[in-house]
Structure 1
Amino acid sequence: MPLLTLDNLSLAFGLQPLLDQASLTIESGERVCLLGRNGEGKSTLLKIVSGEVTPDGGTVRLDDGAVLAVLPQNLPAQDRRSAYEVVASAFPETGSLLSQFHALSQSADEQSLEQLMKVQERLEALDGWRLDQKVTAILAQYRIDPDQTLDTLSGGWQRRVLLARALVGEPDILLLDEPTNHLDVPAIAWLEEALGQFRGALLFVSHDRAFIRSMATRIVELDRGHLISFAANYDRYLELKEKALEEEDRQNALFDKRLKQEEVWIRQGIKARRTRNMGRVRALKAMREERQQRRERGGTAVFAVEDAARSGKLVVETLEAGFGYSQDQAIIEDLNITVMRGDKIGLIGENGTGKTTLVRLLLGELEATEGSIRLGTNREVAYFDQLRAELDLSLNALDNLAEGREFIDINGQSKHVLGYLQEFLFSPERARSPVSVFSGGERARLLLAKLFSKPANILVLDEPTNDLDVETLELLESQLVEFAGTVVVISHDREFLDNVVTDTLFLNGSGKVANYVGGYSDWRRQGGRFPAEERVGKPSGKASKSGAGKAAKPQKQPTSQKPVKLSYKLKLELEQLPGKIEVLEQDVAQLQTEVTATDFYSRPSGEVTAALDKLAEIEARLEQTMERWMALTEQAT
């Protein structure tokens, strides 16, 4: 018997149904990837399976006794619970009691002791200590500090805690919605390894092609309300899908030709009417109805980069360049690179290693604190921001793009703004909707439309692949490859980097930047490794909620070397650093609260940019201060 059965599900929010008699079965142990274009209803389908959304019709059946768990797409904001409390919450009553027990056990007053005994009795009745062992065991397995609060963890470590919560109940099926968004490559690799050890069934939504290739044993596509299953891996699915579309086009062409012939017959003269076959007339009416009900496959986005005049042959050259917010806090050191017109540069590194700082140096937005940077001539830069700060959520798509214009010039051609937006799959009605109601994929497409409407010979893209469906992603890749100007990309999408970039800059987190020829796979073949792949430790440090977190704090390793005695000056610095770290963490937390407020992006753009720049600056200072404290601590031990 199937583990999960979806039978004739129907759901509609507008004129076209998201689900139209959709059916699916999943067996135990399968890893099923759910694909589909942005807006097809993939996330909604997962919510139907988990019980968050009730369909208009049809049924969802889970095998008797089967347990279902969900790894949420969005990370929690300002969750001050400890990792232990989060994981224990997988068992609602028992988890609450275990959290109370741990809190009360820290108190010594008589009232707390009395309450502790009551909680202990209830836990024993519910077999709570066995569940406590399971929570403790999975925290240890994932190397999670049980006392670390969720709001102090990076996006990758938060995802790790949430996965522990999902798996501690030993579910039979796990649902995941875009689990790799905003994770760096080491975090994605860890997630792949953890899910590979899960023996239950997986149903997940993802547009990360490398992740899909690694995880999926079957592909299911949501297309125009129907679920189509392909018993194949991702590459085989692409072949089968292409053949299926060709066959669909052939059948539609034959149907339309026959319909046209029947329409000619019905309109023939008097002689034909006297011999008209009424059965044929009824068949024609049925064909008309079938043609009217046919849902055409949505168009593919069509866009091109607006070329500016060519930049100088040299785009930027650095000589022993470095940057830091103070003398002992270098983020970039000894940078020696030359970027020429037409280069496609990819930046990789763990979150918090200074990739955005490096880009700002190359663009001339920051001035090197050591060495020199020579900028080329005639540079026209267009910037794609992963936080979508360029979009005003209070305005609609039309006003965000047009900025008061009715027509825009694209490569020498004048285009109506609505027509231009239709090339990015925005209908006139959707173009007049406020951006605040757009999905992540729609916001990404709108930002691309805005980016490509301005003349540029240098494109800078910060995590452009998040939320884009595969078809739009592949079109973006082809446009970047054909673009005659220079491209600088920050991305954790391994396949995107392989398909686009010609050179890779790797930031190891200690200020060093290494230059490699080729993309991500070429970097790996040349011995490239992330520090996290060689580091075992606990998570530490504040992190931005966009996932720009800090690396885990390494555990002290035993050593046979004689400790180095610190000078008086270094001892004094070591004593002062914890206070500095505390102040910086408070500043980061305050700014994070500000930028995650619902009305933040409705402020004037100057205020938004200033706040984001300040947050990036303080986070970088915090990172460098933490690294300095760790280095001095290791010297002193």
Structure 2
Amino acid sequence: MAILTLSNAYLSFSDHPLLDYANMAIEAGERVCLVGRNGAGKSTLLKILAGEAGMDDGQLIIEKDRIIARLEQDPPRHIEGTVFDYVAEGVRELAALLKEYHQLSLKIAQDYQEKTMNRLSEVQSQLDHFDGWRFETRIQEILAKLGLNPDIALAELSGGWQRKAALAKALVCEPDLLLLDEPTNHLDVDTITWLENLLLEFKGSIVFISHDRAFIRRMATRIIDLDRGKLVSYPGNYDQYLQQKEEDLRVEALQNELFDKRLAQEEIWIRKGIEARRTRNEGRVRALKAMREERRQRRDVIGKANIQVDNAVRSGKIVFEIENLSYQLADRVLIKDFSATILRGDKIALIGSNGCGKTTLIKLLLGELQPTSGRIHTGTKLEVAYFDQYRSTLDPEKSVMDNVADGKQDVEVNGVKRHVLGYLQDFLFPPKRAMIPAKALSGGEKNRLLLAKLLLKPNNLLILDEPTNDLDVETLELLEELLSEYQGTVIIVSHDRQFIDNTATECFIFEGDGILHKYVGGYHDAKQQQANVLAQKEQQQPKREEPVKENKKQAFRDSKVRKVKLSYKEQQELAKMPELLEQLEQQIQQLQQEINQPDFFSQPNEVTSSKLQQLAEQEQALDDALNRWAELEQIAEGGQ
């Protein structure tokens, strides 16, 4: 049964409506990916589904008592209080109690007062009554996984970290319908994997927008395509959608071609000489007028961007020579004794958790930071173009055109002058769209604008920091094609696993504590090599057991069962201890072998969690058995 239904939705801000009497329904438990070109209206549609935006016409029906939560595309605005306070607002009715409990707990820790303690007890009682501890625990777990300090002021965080807080807020309330707008933006790959597992276990329905094809493939049970104001449902997975969409566009193009031929023939007929006009059929004339109107109303398929790079002169063969590089920030080591050579034409992907040092390494390479120790030799004739994920080089108040041409009418592309409006059309900005301020663009359009500005500059070294955020798939694939043919050097920071697979020739992986390792190939190649190296290290390390446990086991195996002061039941228990210990050790060894397999953590979360829980339980059982043996031995020895 549908928990949400949208009927005959119409919304227009310009000549072409965003929603043109569109229809959709969301069933309980399904995960729907909403796809469409940048600027098609996907984010606006999510706002309508959340009840945060209206329509010019149409009806939105939501089942009674259904809870809906939405993650916005951009970081939160007008923010006050701590991260915990902000995230707790997602629990709605319990938000005030949870925030007060957290604040009182901090106050008690700093300055114990009887009055504060009494109020804390009252709040605890209310949380007990409303089952609030479940949400308090959930908030703390999600914040910990996202690396967010619950006690820091939200306003002090960067835009990316604020968006993580917004994600936590959407997740904590356990809604019936979760609306996610680009949920993987600003997340590292490990956190994306965690998010995927969390959402796969989520019992409600999900509608999400994403450019991350690996994320879509794992998450989506159905695709809804927003194309020129219409919503079309495609059952099945993402690859099935791509195949069917291609066929639909082929059929549409064929139908349009036949229609245009008929229209041309009718236009020839109506323009015949005087004799033909005298005998023309009025019904045929009315049909021609209708055909003209139908052609005028037709919204053609949005084309692909035409992205070109203004190549500079070739750089030297060696782009960067990195020798024993280390960088320390306060007490934290971000990079430790790293050496590498980056050659002309290399395409390097930097992979690691948020805050591990990827941007720091880029700044070191560009000379914006100085190493704590070691050195970086920079090659000759380098011309750098730097794509900043936060789009700081864009002026939101300036028009699209002025952001690119800075008030001029012409730009120079590969030595040829072009009118700025013609150049922007290559990036899918029609003249009307080129006149609006950048702040009115969608997230994907802003990234296209940044690419248009960036690629005007002659370059032979591209540094791209999360270039795929918010881009539609068509532009993303075009960017991949451009990078594969690019003759210069590329350094990429991206959480998009497929993008890295399709573009990178080598990966530098941050493995913690400042350690970096180099692996040949794309993302999955690198992770497989990394897993193989770790597995080899595990095999080479001698197995060591805790001395206390080993002493207990050995002493037990060498001892004879003593019967003094032991009841008959205890004597039987002591006699069976060798068999029990051996059985537990075998089970632990088997579980450890399974967990040490390279592909163990690529399995569904419920499988890995179950195995890890079993291992913990078996190890605890072994400890309990050893302690019980020691207890029985002590009793027996006391009777000698």
TM-score with structure 1 setting the length: 0.76
User: 2:451 aligns to what?
Assistant: 448
Indicate the SS of the match to 1:379.
Answer: coil
Counterpart among 244, 248, 253 of residue 244 in structure 1: 248
The number of residues matched between the two structures is 530
Indicate the SS of the match to 1:3.
Answer: strand
| TM-aligned CA deviation for residue 451 of structure 1 | 1.2
Q: Distance in 2 between matches of 1:344 and 1:120?
A: 55
| TM-aligned CA deviation for residue 159 of structure 1 | 6.3
User: 2:416 aligns to what?
Assistant: 413
Q: Distance in 2 between matches of 1:465 and 1:473?
A: 7
User: 1:582 aligns to what?
Assistant: none
Indicate the SS of the match to 1:526.
Answer: helix
User: 1:632 aligns to what?
Assistant: none
Q: Is 1:289 paired with 2:293?
A: yes
Indicate the SS of the match to 1:387.
Answer: coil
Percent identical among aligned pairs is: 52
User: Over alpha carbons, which structure has the higher Rg?
Assistant: 2
Counterpart among 169, 177, 180 of residue 176 in structure 1: 180
Q: Distance in 2 between matches of 1:26 and 1:340?
A: 51
Matches within 5 A, 1:496-511: 496-511=499-514
Shift in CA distance, 527/103, structure 1 to aligned 2, threshold 3 Å: closer
Q: Distance in 2 between matches of 1:356 and 1:37?
A: 29
Q: Distance in 2 between matches of 1:190 and 1:476?
A: 27
Shift in CA distance, 117/494, structure 1 to aligned 2, threshold 3 Å: closer
User: 1:188 aligns to what?
Assistant: 192
Moved more, 72-81 or 151-160: 151-160
Indicate the SS of the match to 1:372.
Answer: strand
Code of the aligned partner of 2:185: N
Shift in CA distance, 120/502, structure 1 to aligned 2, threshold 3 Å: closer
User: 1:386 aligns to what?
Assistant: 389
Shift in CA distance, 147/222, structure 1 to aligned 2, threshold 3 Å: closer
Counterpart among 341, 346, 361 of residue 349 in structure 2: 346
Q: Is 1:521 paired with 2:538?
A: no
Give a deviation string over 1:271-313, Cα, whole Å, max 9, x none: 3234322222221111111111111122321111111111112
Judging by fraction of residues, say which structure has more helix.
2
Counterpart among 420, 434, 437 of residue 437 in structure 2: 434
User: 1:225 aligns to what?
Assistant: 229
Matches within 5 A, 1:135-284: 135-139=135-139, 142=142, 144=144, 148-149=151-152, 151=154, 162=166, 165-284=169-288
| TM-aligned CA deviation for residue 508 of structure 1 | 2.3
Q: Distance in 2 between matches of 1:88 and 1:367?
A: 41
Code of the aligned partner of 1:221: D
| TM-aligned CA deviation for residue 195 of structure 1 | 0.4
Shift in CA distance, 405/167, structure 1 to aligned 2, threshold 3 Å: closer
Give a deviation string over 1:304-336, Cα, whole Å, max 9, x none: 11111111122121222333457x654322222
Code of the aligned partner of 2:212: D
Give a deviation string over 1:356-405, Cα, whole Å, max 9, x none: 22123333444444333222221111111112122233332322222454
User: 2:73 aligns to what?
Assistant: 73
User: 1:16 aligns to what?
Assistant: 16
- Asked whether the equivalents of residues 319 and 337 of structure 1 are also in contact (C-alpha less than 8 Å), the reply is yes
Give a deviation string over 1:106-145, Cα, whole Å, max 9, x none: 6787876897898789x5xxx9723313313424654749
- Asked whether the equivalents of residues 143 and 150 of structure 2 are also in contact (C-alpha less than 8 Å), the reply is no
Q: Distance in 2 between matches of 1:57 and 1:454?
A: 46
Q: Distance in 2 between matches of 1:118 and 1:191?
A: 35
Moved more, 515-524 or 406-415: 406-415
- Asked whether the equivalents of residues 11 and 56 of structure 2 are also in contact (C-alpha less than 8 Å), the reply is yes
Code of the aligned partner of 2:325: A
Q: Distance in 2 between matches of 1:360 and 1:88?
A: 36
User: 2:315 aligns to what?
Assistant: 311
Q: Which runs of 5+ in 2 are unaligned?
A: 535-545, 549-640
| TM-aligned CA deviation for residue 73 of structure 1 | 3.3
Q: Distance in 2 between matches of 1:37 and 1:289?
A: 26
- Asked whether the equivalents of residues 181 and 466 of structure 1 are also in contact (C-alpha less than 8 Å), the reply is yes
Q: Distance in 1 between matches of 2:448 and 2:98?
A: 46
Q: Distance in 2 between matches of 1:104 and 1:329?
A: 32
Give a deviation string over 1:135-194, Cα, whole Å, max 9, x none: 134246547499644637788886676556445544222111111111111111111111
- Asked whether the equivalents of residues 502 and 517 of structure 1 are also in contact (C-alpha less than 8 Å), the reply is yes
Q: Which runs of 5+ in 1 are unaligned?
A: 532-558, 562-637
Across the aligned residues of Structure 1 and Structure 2, the Cα RMSD in angstroms comes to 3.1
Indicate the SS of the match to 2:513.
Answer: coil
Shift in CA distance, 83/484, structure 1 to aligned 2, threshold 3 Å: closer
Q: Distance in 2 between matches of 1:513 and 1:117?
A: 49
Moved more, 159-168 or 353-362: 159-168
Matches within 5 A, 1:56-95: 56-76=56-76, 79=79, 81=81, 85-86=85-86, 88-95=88-95
- Asked whether the equivalents of residues 350 and 530 of structure 1 are also in contact (C-alpha less than 8 Å), the reply is no
- Asked whether the equivalents of residues 34 and 219 of structure 1 are also in contact (C-alpha less than 8 Å), the reply is yes
Indicate the SS of the match to 1:374.
Answer: strand
Q: Distance in 2 between matches of 1:244 and 1:220?
A: 14
Q: Distance in 2 between matches of 1:470 and 1:317?
A: 35
Indicate the SS of the match to 1:300.
Answer: coil
Moved more, 399-408 or 160-169: 160-169
Code of the aligned partner of 2:36: G
| TM-aligned CA deviation for residue 33 of structure 1 | 0.3
User: 1:564 aligns to what?
Assistant: none
| TM-aligned CA deviation for residue 257 of structure 1 | 0.2
Q: Is 1:332 paired with 2:335?
A: yes
| TM-aligned CA deviation for residue 477 of structure 1 | 0.9
User: 1:298 aligns to what?
Assistant: 302
Give a deviation string over 1:489-543, Cα, whole Å, max 9, x none: 1111111111101010112242222110011111111135999xxxxxxxxxxxx
User: 2:49 aligns to what?
Assistant: 49
Q: Is 1:488 paired with 2:491?
A: yes
Indicate the SS of the match to 2:306.
Answer: coil
Indicate the SS of the match to 1:20.
Answer: strand
Code of the aligned partner of 2:268: V
Which fold has the larger relative contact order, with Cα–Cα distance below 8 Å and residues 6 or more apart in sequence?
1
| TM-aligned CA deviation for residue 468 of structure 1 | 1.3
| TM-aligned CA deviation for residue 424 of structure 1 | 1.1
TM-score with structure 2 setting the length: 0.76
| TM-aligned CA deviation for residue 349 of structure 1 | 0.8
Indicate the SS of the match to 1:250.
Answer: helix
Moved more, 411-420 or 142-151: 142-151
Code of the aligned partner of 1:198: F
Q: Distance in 1 between matches of 2:291 and 2:533?
A: 60
Shift in CA distance, 405/75, structure 1 to aligned 2, threshold 3 Å: closer
